[in-house]
Amino acid sequence: MAEKVIVIADSITVGELAEKLSLPVSKLIGELFKNGIAATINQRIDFETATIIVEELKITDIELKRKEAVSLNARHAHELSDKAITRPPIVAVMGHVDHGKTSLLDAILKTRVVDREAGGITQHISAYQTIRNGRSITLLDTPGHEAFGALRQHGAALTDVVIIVVAADDGVKPQTVEAIKFARSANAKIVVAINKIDKDTADAMRVKAQLASEQGLNPEEWGGDTVMVEVSAKTGQNIDKLLDMVLLVADLEDLKADIDVPAEGLIIESHMEVGRGPVVGLLVEHGKLKPGHFLVAGTTYGKVRTLLDFASKAIKEAGPSTPANVTGFKELPEFGNNFFVVKNEKDARNLSAAAKIEREKNAASTNITSSDLLKMMNQQQETQDFNVIVKADVQGSLTSVVNSLKLIDTRGEITLHILSSGVGNVTENDIRMAAGQNTIIYGFNIEMSTAIKQLAGREKVEVRLFNVIYKLLDDVRSSMEELLAPEIVETEIGKLTIKGVFRTLPDMVIAGGEVTSGKITGGLLARVMRNKEKIAEVTVSSVQRQQQEAKEVFEGEMCGLRLKTNKKLQIEEGDKLEFFNREKIKRMLK
């Protein structure tokens, strides 16, 4: 049993751990280095890594225990006052790709949103508002493709109610399950919209049975507590009923917000626009946001220069549950950042500067995780580098692309390096960074000017632009597969026993024998075996049967052989030849 218990947080610097273990810091750094990690005294290692190192050092009288820590990134919980008012529900529309989420919003909003989406797939979160019976409903359209998991999770975290869209002709799919999981993790109420009931192949009962048996979502009409509405985005059938049910579910939650407080909320999108600078989509949770307000979001700040609603119309204020687009930020905030209003520019500048210093401090003390350490400890072969620079139209899409690239299984043979990533079009700096480093620039939903194209051509830098994310990921995966060493596959064809050797030349042996299994043809490779030991490998130049050239000779037949060698080879009577084909098979990434 350990004599001493040391309590540490989720991470600790190498120097601090050495002090707690009463070890010279050089010994701890040496142990990390021995396992493939060149650490410094100020680098942080996580709890699991610290535990592994203690075991590697065979320290048996000390036990490490994790200290319960409060996450600094936890969503701010606003304490409602007695003056809180009822606010509109925030509703995320989620589900599997191509099940009609954006088409459903199209039917609700009477717009043509889906026509603007590349490949018919929502590429980032979009926020809208609609009115039903005089009441506002805020709607978030979240991506359905698997690569946008981070954005979908972000959408669910903003949400009071989640509409899970399931196609009546297709049923429950992987992203359906994922959307349900996200909704539950966000403690949001679920309403199921069974879409495409206008199709001949629609089977709403099958969908309900799937959701009940596989996901535990039991329809109300079956005695459960999940609202399910059969709709058609194409014909508009039951759209009003769906909205009524959403409002009913929201009413049971008694949603409220404070209005007489400085505005606060969440960043849901951000991108750069020529002539406007950073354009930020946000969702107000409390208070009223107005032009002229000073905002802080993460490491950046700004003064609201323009305030627009979801339809790009100027508005005087944005209250609780209202999506809005603002300009005036100094830099692009990250999606998912909380924003809040402060009194003046000085406070805004000081708060954002403090956040920036904290971020740089954390970046300087790189966190080494247990997975990093184990990967280094188990690394047994050299890897090839695949360098990329990623540019995207909005911050949320950029995060999804980068996260998806990191999830590609490289079989441990290829290291994917994202040298740089950012929002906006490809710049001269991007080209300069990529030049000479065998780096590919990937752009998502962006453009490239003629001057940048010419510069890329002169610097021999490949720039590949995509507007559908899975095509971009497929291209990256295919490019990395080209770097994989091919798999060598050998197929046994036949065997022969040498009965006589007629002539031996420096690079050729002419011999004869009996085929004991399979068959023999010209062009095959053969292992020469003597007393079960391989003595050489040869190639069959030609095969003869009864002094006539033959295409193939089968088991039980006698034949003559011309065997090509790369050195003088003495084959003896009684040697065995094992014939085979050797192929190079292109390997694929998962």
As a whole number, mean pLDDT of residues 34-47 equals 69
Residue 205's pLDDT is 94
Q: How far apart are CA 543 and CA 562, in angstroms?
A: 7
Query: What is the share, in percent, of the chain residues with pLDDT greater than 90?
Result: 34
Q: Which of 434, 486, 423, 489 is nearest to 456 (CA)?
A: 434
For the stretch 231-255, pLDDT in tens is 998 999 999 999 999 999 999 988 9
As a whole number, mean pLDDT of residues 426-442 equals 85
Spatial CB neighbours of 77, under 8 Å, sequence gap ≥ 6: none
Q: What share of the chain is helix, strand, coil (3-state, %, to 5)?
A: 30, 35, 35
Residue 39's pLDDT is 66
Residue 376's pLDDT is 53
For the stretch 44-88, pLDDT in tens is 777 777 888 888 788 877 777 776 543 333 334 567 888 889 999
Q: How far apart are CA 76 and CA 444, in angstroms?
A: 32
Residue 383's pLDDT is 61
pLDDT bracket for residue 228 (50, 70, 90):
very high
Indicate the angle between helix axes 469-481 and 395-406, nearest 10 degrees.
Answer: 30
Spatial CB neighbours of 439, under 8 Å, sequence gap ≥ 6: 387, 388, 389, 419, 433, 461
Residue 459's pLDDT is 86
Q: Please list, residue by residue across 366-388, b when 16 or more beta carbons sit within 10 angstroms of its beta carbon and e when fewer do.
A: eebebebbeebeeeeeeeeebbb
Which amino acid would we find at residue 489?
A: V
pLDDT at 372 over 90: no
As a whole number, mean pLDDT of residues 112-133 equals 56
pLDDT at 150 over 50: no
Handedness of CA 468, 473, 475, 476 (dihedral sign): positive
Query: What is the share, in percent, of the chain residues with pLDDT greater than 70?
Result: 84
Residue 485's pLDDT is 73
Render 354-378 in DSSP notation, one character per residue: HHHHHHHHHHHSPEEPHHHHHHHHH
* 186 contacts 156 by C-beta, under 8 angstroms: yes
Q: How far apart are CA 124 and CA 271, in angstroms?
A: 11
Does residue 553 sit in helix, strand or coil? strand
For the stretch 311-370, pLDDT in tens is 888 999 999 999 899 999 998 888 778 899 999 999 999 998 888 877 766 554 455 555
Spatial CB neighbours of 256, under 8 Å, sequence gap ≥ 6: 80, 84, 85, 86, 87
Torsion of Cα atoms, 64 then 68 then 70 then 74, to 10°: 90
Lowest mean pLDDT of 35-44, 474-483, 520-529, 555-564, name the range.
35-44
Extract the tokens encoding 122.
């929502």
Higher-confidence position of 95 and 122? 95
Residue 92's pLDDT is 85
pLDDT bracket for residue 422 (50, 70, 90):
confident
> Using H for helix, E for strand and C for coil, what is the string for 207-258?
HHHHHHHHHCCCEHHHCCCEEEEECCCCCCCCHHHHHHHHHHHHHHHCCEEC
Render 284-315 in DSSP notation, one character per residue: EEES-B-TT-EEEETTEEEEEEEEE-TTS-B-
For the stretch 410-420, pLDDT in tens is 656 777 888 88
For the stretch 435-475, pLDDT in tens is 877 889 999 988 888 888 888 888 889 999 998 788 898 89
Identify the structural domains of the chain with CATH numbers, from first to last: 4-66 (no CATH), 88-254 (3.40.50.300), 264-363 (2.40.30.10), 371-481 (3.40.50.10050), 487-585 (2.40.30.10)
Higher-confidence position of 522 and 31? 522
Lowest mean pLDDT of 38-52, 322-336, 471-485, 501-515, name the range.
38-52
pLDDT at 371 over 70: no
* pLDDT, mean over the chain: 82
Torsion of Cα atoms, 461 then 462 then 464 then 465, to 10°: 30
Q: Which residues pair with 222 in a beta bridge?
A: none
Q: Which of 328, 339, 330 is nearest to 284 (CA)?
A: 339
For 118-188, where are the E strands, in sequence order?
126-132, 135-141, 161-167
pLDDT at 400 over 50: yes
Residue 271's pLDDT is 81
Residue 381's pLDDT is 46
Element spanning 402, H or E: helix 395-406
8-state DSSP, 343: S
As a whole number, mean pLDDT of residues 427-437 equals 82
As a whole number, mean pLDDT of residues 502-516 equals 91
Torsion of Cα atoms, 36 then 42 then 43 then 45, to 10°: 100
Placement of tokens 């979240």 in the chain: 142
pLDDT bracket for residue 147 (50, 70, 90):
very low
Q: How far apart are CA 287 and CA 296, in angstroms?
A: 15
Q: Please list, residue by residue across 512-535, b when 16 or more beta carbons sit within 10 angstroms of its beta carbon and e when fewer do.
A: bbebeebbbbbebebbbbeeeeee
Q: Which residues pair with 270 in a beta bridge?
A: 280
Higher-confidence position of 1 and 422? 422
Residue 149's pLDDT is 44
Q: How far apart are CA 413 and CA 486, in angstroms?
A: 12
Extract long-range pairs of 102-108: CB within 8 Å, 24+ residues apart.
Answer: 102/141, 103/195, 103/233, 103/234, 104/163, 104/165, 104/193, 104/195, 104/231, 104/233, 104/239, 105/139, 105/141, 106/233, 107/233, 107/234, 107/236, 107/239, 108/139, 108/239, 108/243
Spatial CB neighbours of 533, under 8 Å, sequence gap ≥ 6: none
Lowest mean pLDDT of 4-8, 430-434, 493-497, name the range.
4-8
For the stretch 177-215, pLDDT in tens is 878 887 787 778 999 999 999 999 999 999 999 999 999
Q: How far apart are CA 527 and CA 509, in angstroms?
A: 14
For the stretch 248-294, pLDDT in tens is 999 998 899 999 999 998 888 888 887 888 889 888 989 999 999 99
C-alpha distance across the termini of the chain, in Å: 44
8-state DSSP, 332: P
Q: Which of 566, 577, 563, 572 is nearest to 506 (CA)?
A: 566
Lowest mean pLDDT of 39-48, 51-60, 96-105, 384-393, name the range.
39-48
